[in-house]
Structure 1
Amino acid sequence: MLTNLARFAMARPRAVLVAALLLMIICGGFGATVKSHMVGGGYLTDELEAVQANDFIEDNFPGGNPNLIIMITAEGGVNSPEARAAAQRITADLSDDADVTGVRSYWTTVTERSDLATALRSKDSKRGLIMASLVGTDTEIQNRAAVLSKDLTGDYDGVQVRLGGMAGTFADINHQVEKDLLLAEAIAIPISGLLLVLVFGSLVAAALPLAVGLFAIAATLGILRALTTVMEVSIFALNMTSALGLALAIDYSLFIVSRFREEKERGRDTRAAVLRAVQTAGRTVVFSGLTVALALAALAVFPQPFFKSFAFAGVAVVLAAVAASVLLLPAALVLLGDRVNALDLRKPLRRVFGRGEAKPVRPEDSGWYRLVTWVMRHAAPVAIVTTALLLALGSPFLSAQFGSPDDRVIGDFASSRQVGDALREEFNADMASSAVVVLPEFQGTTADIAAYAVALSKVPDVPAVLSSDGVYVNGTKMAAGIPEMAGPTGTYLSVGTTLPPSSVAGKEQLAALRAVPAPGAVLFGGATALDADTMATVVDRLPVAIALIAVITLILLFLFTGSVVLPLKALLLNLFSVTATFGAMIWIFQDGHLSSVLGFTPTGTIDLFMPILMFCLAFGVSMDYEVFLLSRVREEWLASDRGRDANTRSVAMGVARTGRIFTAAASLMAVVLLAVATSEVAAMKLFGIGLALAVIADATVIRGLLAPALMRLMSTGNWWAPKPLAALHKRIGLEEEPMEEPTAATKFEKAPAVG
């Protein structure tokens, strides 16, 4: 297949490149508006109890569980004429908005129910709240919140207006993610170009991976926009899949272009060199891309749109990067030929510094060969020390505390973050974190509701419980109830809290509330319940996802190598690499080390969605490098006498031939990922820094130390498989002919035809 693809591209290179350019323009244009069609999170599903509770309230008691909070601050106090005038204007505008329901504020409550007004007023009486619910789909709610934030947020005659709540938070995140994507690409593309020039020397050779990377970005936008027409796609997929597409496209192109130049140096003509590069590096690119894509596909077992976004978009983006590498590069390389080395910037630099022409270094004389040879002479100590180091780095993960993200994922410049901080610090109860307790089709008496509210109000850290019967504090009825909280379809209660939803104390409080005997069927909603229900669904599916990734990896690597030992070794090494990365992420983002340097707010928990996503991506990328290394080691092994010494030499030669390219590839991918980490959204920092560390550790510690040490210890056993499996691999495995030394007569037609 690869041979045919390469020949197709080389036979009509200009048509292939023009078609790619047109496709790039179409995808870029189609995907330009993708942000406005994405959802700001994608963590919730309809089967969650907390979502059903919220839906019940919205359907039967509009505005009963507000998702929009507007905070008005006045130095003269909430009862000053300026604050009251601003509140009346905003309340009137919201009440006239067809997309807004259940508008209530401190200023209306203080006249109608002064006993409830204190919940909507800050402790110093300088801030007051207006609460409401936006209706519609998640996308419609976030887009409407963004418009309201733009129209309302600001400072007016000594009055400060800020918009927050869940709707405001996700609107701010959407806006910030879009800005961050432009900044990340503005950083990653020029720095990647500079690094590619340093790797290749030639401006022309360096431009090829960058061009394929730009194609991948345009394809990503088009793919994401197409997906939004059939499913909800998380806004976080915008930055993450763009970074993944750019990084993989550059990496894959780097390997193919490097192999082409290597084959040219070995004496092959242009067409034979292109074909050989596709048959070797291209074959590995396809296989490694398949591994990454299938690792991401495992995310589809989770019901949340967040994961499904990456499952479908990630697979499509990886396949686009692979297709671009094995189709566009052969077309470009056959047109360029020897000109791929044109505009070599190293020559003028050598003249400036009085350096002579660089002489080619044999793999056996390289620093990588010497390092790996030393490692394999001390294989056991190196393996033990390296393993202990990786496990020590991963140890903080044992104390991980997971939670769902809130407004603190974004910086305090955001309106929603300012509202959230004020609610947590300056009000008697965090109105955004209140629990709602729904009793659908309740047929009991008022006394039943009163008894239930009394019991709920006695749970620690519950400042008050509001019901249709009364307002209860510590078991005592403090005021009359709110009749609108009951109806023919059922009733609901609002339970205040002073605890963060994702905290351990918040989860314990929810468990205590659920343990209170209810006078009928009950549904718990609110921020803490949403957090707990989401965690439960993710944890339930996690073993299935991990098992799928492990089985798929083992099967693919067996087909690639014909060994049952090497796939197990690769699985083990990847787990070590991912464990060390996760430990570092807990130390940084959960425990808050380096928070002042990196510019984020530690919350004592870590977003559960990110480690799972990072596990799949880090596992896929690590396997990506494993496949490239094993490809060259196996190539040397197949050309050897396959003895014990041959195994050692094959490993050393494989690392020596790929070490420089690995270093470059890891550096380039790290640049792209660290560019993502410049985001003002904490989740994106976690993603960028975490994956960058995984890539760097994998390309250095794992590939340079632990992998060679283990392959030396296992010796020829690396290539072992039971006879039935060996026979199976011979029939269906991905075999490749041993590399032949080119002769002066080597022509395109005589190039080995495999694949």
Structure 2
Amino acid sequence: MLSVVARLSVRRPVLVVVVWLAAVAGSFAVGTGVFDRLVSDVGQVPGSESDRAADLIDRADGPRSISLSAIVYGAPVTDPALIAAVDAAIADVRGMPGVVAVTDPVPSTASGRAFGLRVQVEPGPDADATVRAVNDRLHRIATGTVAGPGAVAVAVSGGGLTDQEFNHQAQSDVRKAETLTTPVVLLLLLFVFGGLTAAGLPLLIAVAGVGGTFAILFACSEVTDVSVYSIQVATMLSVGLAVDYGLLIVSRFREERAVVPGVPAAVIRTMATAGRTVVYSGLTVAAVLAGLLVFPDPFLRSMGVAGVGVVTFVVAAAVTLLPALLALAGRRIRPVRPAPRIRTVRPARPAPALLALAGRRIRSALPVLPVLPVRPAPAHGGRFAAIARAVQRRPLLTLLAAAALMLLLAVPVLDLRLAQVDARLLPATTQTRQVHDATAAHFPELDTPAPIVIAIGAPADSPVVAALRRRILAVPHVTGIAPAAGTGPVTVLRATIDVPGYSPQARRAVAAIRALRPVRPLPPLAAPVEFAVTGDTALLVDYEAMITGRLPYAVAVIALGTLVLLFLFTGSVLLPVKAVATNVLSIGAALGAVVWVFQQGHLASWFGTTRLDATHVSVPVLVGAIAFGLSVDYEVFLLSRIRENWLATGDNQEAVARGLQHTGRIITSAALLLAVVFAGFLTAGFVPVKAIGLGLTLAVALDATVVRLLLVPATMTLAGRFNWWAPAPLRGLHTRLGLTEPAGPRRAQAVRQ
């Protein structure tokens, strides 16, 4: 099938390129509309107790008004001009259509240099326009002559303003990352290939991948919420895979050009080898990302769907568009210097007297003898083969040292604490972050953990509510309960706590309150009371329970998909297990670094943030899934060449050395390019995106160095011929179903595994 597709792309390259240009242009035209549909909520668990509590609260409050928080700060609250300006602005806002209520300004008692107020806006089709008008009017306070120009600052957050900031930040982060990384990636590709044409082809695949990513996310937004974080994550994945696959195919094409006459034949041979590796790699990465589909969280599920779609789109571009581009521009790509091969020549001509006696038939019957090259082929030498042979001399010591290093880097994961965190996820230039920082500085009494919210299916004056209120106040770390709110048969209580919402004490408080749930009818009610707990801490508890409960299924999907596909690719039972184990080590080390920097605060200022004491809920799962997929990507690249040499030589150690020599440059180059792409997202405004960027950068770097250069040669050397062993039934299955690259001449003993 792949050969048919390759021949079609080679025979009709212009048609294939035109079709892809239309598809990519349409993807960008439609897909960029996803930026208007992004949501900032992450960590929702449909069907959880928190979700049921939200339904109860909606029944109590009906359509809730949009709440805006505003802080005017910088000048003394006793300044008459400032007081007059604030009063005038409040009077104007109260008179705006759609404004439900405006609180009186509250002066800061901590600093004496700030006013705080809240504005309630009626929900509806005109709400966004009203929010913008309120924002503009409040900001005019700072444009007057109050205490001198620039002395007063105004920050407004909430409602559509915060959503707009999240969406704008998502677009800004993608543009900034692409602007910074594209020139660097192009320069590195020029260095790798030594020519502009060869260097530009992987970038064209990356552009097609980004366009497809936007279109896929837009399609997802038609049926589910798409998080602002998904834009950067899916773009990172798309560009990374496109560079990987483009680099592998163009590198193999340069090799084939050195030994195959004609560009079309070289393209077809390239797709029969490297193209097949790309398809297998894409299937494996898609299987890994499909593991996200087992989670009920809309964000993770949408990332799973989008991830599988992105991989499919990039693989399709790599096996159709790239061959067409190679067919059109392949003559401009310089072949690699051909490695000396075993040549077949006739022996030196005998003496004329002997030829005269033997005649022409004897001469024509002379055997064709192999003549070894004068100098060794690069597969026998080269720096990567030298690394492999150095490892093979001390495989156990290398294995223990490399594993110890990875485990040491992974130690901070033991301190992992998940949380939604707060406005510190946004850059300091956003109003939402400024409101948070100004509140902490001027109104520290308001800078408290989010309350635990309890929804009760009973009227506020019911004895059931009074009894539950007394029992909730007795729960440790609950410091008070706000006045009961709600209408009709539903009451909402908000219990304040004196510990951070992500702390174990807060989690225990949620569990204790949930244990108070009435289990039987209480007088004067004739039916059990509806009772549900929500709030930031309860959401976190439900999210962690969802992750813990579904993680075994996700691991099963990922592990099973990886093991099956790698078995079909290699015919080995041991190599897939080894791949999973080594990949887990690199992921653990990468997550350890993320926790060490962003949660524990070490070197946090280098990344434009502060110690957060917790890790955002989206980071571990996404880093783990994407890093695992990319690790398997490199595993397939490496094993494809090792197996090819194993089938050709039957020598395990020689196959490992040659395979690493053939792919070492490709893997390290691809890893360097991916590290640049992922590092570009360290400039993002969102802290979770910075964390994901750092985690993936380290995962790729560790995988291409410690794992591929040290752990793989060490483990394969220790295993020896058992690398290629499989029980007889599985060998037969692999013979029938396995899809591996064709190898050169095979020795009989190599085939008998």
TM bucket by the smaller chain? Answer: 0.7 to 0.9
Instruction: Tell me how far apart the structure 2 counterparts of residues 557 and 179 of structure 1 sit (CA, whole Å).
Output: 39
Paired residue for 1:466, among 471, 476, 482? 482
Change (3 A) 1:423 1:530: farther
Bigger Rg, which one: 2
Pairs within 5 Å for 1:120-139: 124=112, 126-130=114-118, 132=120, 135=123
Give 1:28 deviation, angstroms: 1.0
- 8 Å CA contact retained: 1:67, 1:167: no
Question: How far off is 1:361 after superposition?
Answer: 7.2
Q: Which residue of 1 aligns with 2:702?
A: 697
The separation in 2 between residues aligned to 1:601 and 1:284, in whole angstroms, is 43
Q: Which residue of 2 aligns with 1:13?
A: 13
Aligned to 1:128, the other structure's residue is in SS state strand
Query: How many angstroms apart in 2 are the aligned matches of 1:561 and 1:147?
Result: 64
> Which of 562, 573, 589 is the aligned partner of 1:580?
589
**1:63-88 Cα shifts (integer Å, max 9, x gaps):** 87975423343634289674576367
Partner amino acid for 2:557? L
Q: Percentage identity across aligned positions?
A: 36
Question: Which amino acid letter does the alignment assign opposite residue 105 of structure 1?
Answer: T
Once the 2 structures are TM-superposed, how far is the Cα of residue 360 of structure 1 from its aligned partner?
A: 11
Code of the aligned partner of 1:383: L
Q: Tell me, which stretches of 5 or more residues in structure 1 are unaligned?
A: 108-116, 345-358, 469-484, 742-755
Structure 1 residue 552, shift from structure 2 partner: 0.7
Of stretches 516-525 and 171-180 in structure 1, the one that deviates more from structure 2 is: 516-525
**Structure-1 separation of matches of 2:91 and 2:280:** 59
Secondary structure at the counterpart of residue 677 of structure 1: helix
Q: CA deviation at 1:160?
A: 3.6
Are 1:433 and 1:526, in contact at CA under 8 Å, matched by a contact in 2? yes
Matched, 1:621 2:619: no
The corresponding residue for 1:592 is 601
Given candidates 648, 659, 670, the residue that maps to 2:653 is: 648
Measured at CA, do residues 701 and 549 of structure 1 come closer, stay the same or move farther in structure 2, by a change above 3 Å? same
CA distance in 2, matches of 1:253, 1:318: 13
The alpha-carbon deviation at position 146 of structure 1 amounts to 7.5
What pairs with 1:51-130 in structure 2 (closer than 5 Å)? 51-61=51-61, 68-73=68-73, 75-77=75-77, 82-83=82-83, 86=86, 89-90=89-90, 93=93, 98=98, 103=101, 105-107=103-105, 124=112, 126-130=114-118
- CA offset at residue 668 of structure 1? 0.6
Letter of the 2:544 counterpart: M
Find the counterpart in structure 2 of residue 733 from structure 1: 738
The corresponding residue for 1:439 is: 456
Q: Aligned pair in 2 of structure 1 residues 167, 67: CA closer, same or farther (>3 Å)?
A: farther
| Cα distance in structure 2, aligned partners of 1:90 and 1:58 | 29
1:611-645 CA-partner distances (Å, limit 9, x unpaired): 111111000000000000000001111112x2xxx
Out of 416, 427, 430, the position equivalent to 1:414 is: 430
Given the alignment, which residue of 678, 685, 693 partners 1:680?
Answer: 685
- Spell out, residue by residue over 1:254-296, the C-alpha distance to the aligned partner (whole angstroms, 9 max, x if none): 1001001001112443222111111111111111111111111
1:126 Cα shift? 3.0
Q: What whole-Å deviation, never above 9, does each CA across 1:381-433 have from its counterpart, x for those lacking one?
A: 11111111111111111121111232111122221112223444524244782
Measured in 1, the distance between the counterparts of 2:556 and 2:656 equals 29
Q: Take 1:630 and 1:710, find their aligned partners in 2: how far apart are those partners?
A: 13
> Could you give the per-residue CA deviations for residues 652-707 of structure 1, whole angstroms, max 9, x where no partner exists?
00000011111110011111100111112111111111101100110111000110
8 Å contact from structure 1 (residues 376, 709) kept in 2:
yes
**Which is further off, 82-91 or 572-581?**
82-91
3-state secondary structure, aligned to 2:380: helix
Q: Structure 1 509/486 Cα, relative in aligned 2: closer, same or farther at 3 Å?
A: same
Q: Which residue of the other structure, out of 575, 580, 593, is the alignment partner of 1:571?
A: 580
Could you tell me how far apart the structure 2 residues matched to 1:34 and 1:360 are? 56
Q: 1:720 and 1:268, CA in 2 relative to 1: closer, same or farther beyond 3 A?
A: farther
Out of 233, 243, 249, the position equivalent to 2:242 is 249
- Matched residue, 1:746: none
Question: Secondary structure in 2 aligned to 1:551?
Answer: helix
**Is the Cα–Cα contact under 8 Å of residues 449 and 467 in structure 1 kept in the other structure?**
no
Please, which moves more after superposition, 163-172 or 45-54? 163-172
How do residues 304-323 of structure 1 correspond to structure 2 at under 5 angstroms? 304-323=297-316
Deviation per CA, 1:5-28, whole angstroms, max 9, x where unpaired? 100100100111111112111111
> Would you say the 8 A contact 2:514–2:532 is kept in 1?
no
- Say if 2:556 is the partner of 1:547: yes
TM-score by length of 2: 0.85
Give the Å deviation of 1:516.
5.4
Per-residue deviation at 1:199? 0.2
Choose the corresponding residue for 1:161, options 134, 154, 158: 154
- Partner residue in 2 for 1:177: 170
2:723 partner letter: N
Equivalents in 2 of 1:45, 1:135: separation in Å? 25
CA distance in 2, matches of 1:238, 1:333: 30
Q: Aligned equivalents of 1:709 and 1:418: distance in 2? A: 52
**Structure 1 residues 381 and 618: CA distance shift in structure 2, 3 A:** same
| Distance across 2 between alignment mates of 1:502 and 1:361 | 59
Mapped partners of 2:437, 2:499: distance in 1: 13
Match of 2:367 in 1: none
1:390 matches 2:399: no
The AA in structure 2 aligned to 1:395 is V
- Superposed CA offset, 1:156-206 (max 9, x none): 444543223476544422221211110000011111100000000011111
> Distance in 2 between the 1:54 and 1:164 partners?
22
1:582·1:611 contact (CA, 8 Å) conserved in 2? yes
Contact persistence 1:121–1:129 (CA under 8 A): no
Distance 1:289 1:397, change over 3 A: same
Deviation at 1:504, TM superposition (A): 3.4
Deviations 1:430-481 (A, max 9, x none): 47823322112x158455544543444455555542224xxxxxxxxxxxxx
Change in Cα spacing, 1:595 to 1:361, as seen in structure 2 (3 Å) is farther
**How many angstroms apart in 2 are the aligned matches of 1:146 and 1:677?**
31
Query: In structure 2, what residue type is equivalent to 1:315?
Result: V
For 1:208-239, what per-residue CA distance to the aligned partner results, in whole angstroms no more than 9, with x for missing partners? 11111111111211222222222211111111
Indicate yes or no: 2:536 matched with 1:527. yes
Contact conserved, 1:78 with 1:84, CA < 8 A, in 2? no
Q: State the Cα distance separating 1:737 from its structure 2 match.
A: 2.9
Distance 1:508 1:77 in 2: 41
Distance 1:53 1:92 in 2: 37
Q: What does residue range 599-614 of structure 1 map to in structure 2 within 5 Å?
A: 599-614=608-623
SS at 1:57 equivalent: helix
- Most deviating of 78-87 and 532-541: 78-87
User: Residues 677 and 41 of structure 1: is their aligned pair in 2 closer, same or farther, counting only changes over 3 Å?
Assistant: farther
Relative to 1, partners in 2 of residues 1:151 and 1:702: Cα closer, same or farther, differing over 3 Å?
Answer: farther
Report if the CA contact (8 A) 2:288-2:625 is conserved: yes
Tell me the CA shift for residue 497 of structure 1: 3.8
8 Å CA contact retained: 1:621, 1:695: yes
> What value does the CA root-mean-square deviation take over the aligned residues?
3.1
Structure 2 unaligned blocks of 5 or more: 147-151, 338-374, 523-528, 747-753
Give 1:381's match in structure 2, choosing from 390, 397, 402.
397
> 1-side partners of 2:96 and 2:643: how far apart?
71
How far apart, CA to CA, are the structure 2 residues paired with 1:97 and 1:233?
Answer: 32
Against the structure 1 CA distance between its residues 146 and 329, is the aligned structure 2 distance closer, same or farther, given a 3 Å change threshold?
farther
**1:659 matched residue in structure 2:** 664
- The residue number in structure 2 matching 1:401 is 417
Deviates most, 85-94 or 715-724: 85-94
Question: What amino acid is the match of 2:424?
Answer: R
Does 2:289 correspond to 1:296?
yes
